[in-house]
Amino acid sequence: MKTDLPRTLKISRRPFVSFAVALAPLLVLAAVLFNQRGFQPVILFLALIPVVLYAAVITIVFSQRITIHPDGIETVTLFRFRRFVRFSEIIRTEIDQPTGRDRPVLAHIHTKNAQDPVVALRLKALAPEDAAWLCALPELKSAQPST
């Protein structure tokens, strides 16, 4: 195992940019309507929808934290729900990497005591180098990537 542990994996800038680009047209539409028709509560509501959606998505993305410790993986979801899986309990990890994609999307960790995956790691929001580092860990006992 590497000596740079514990290591908390970093969030990529990709989710921020993609959701901002997707929600920007709604803000532009609200600005145009406000300019043409003046202040109306409906226009204010239309302008607040993308802001609230962006805040919700970014909160969900930021609320996931993955920390690799010398003896296991700790995940925190929604800033509150913690889960720790020891490397000794892991029997296999299925990494989902769609065909033609440059990086994995999900990693499902299976343990000895559970038939279903005990942890599903969302790797798409992670920095590419951290997702690749995580998938290369021999302790995860990775299965072949599924397509």
Element (H, E) at 44: helix 41-63
| Residue 7, helix vs strand vs coil | strand
CA distance 80 to 135: 25
**Is the model more confident about 141 or about 20?**
20
pTM: 0.73
pLDDT for the residue 73: 93
Number of domains making up the chain: 1
Q: What is the pLDDT of residues 28-73, one digit of tens each?
A: 888 888 888 888 888 788 778 888 888 888 888 888 899 999 999 9
Averaged confidence pLDDT in the chain: 84
The residue among 126, 7, 128 whose CA lies nearest residue 72 is 7
Residue whose token pair is 């990775």: 142
What's the rounded mean pLDDT across residues 85-99?
Answer: 87
Residue 53 is part of which domain span? 1-146
pLDDT band, residue 1 (cuts 50/70/90)? very low
Task: Supply the CATH number for residue 14's domain.
Answer: 2.30.29
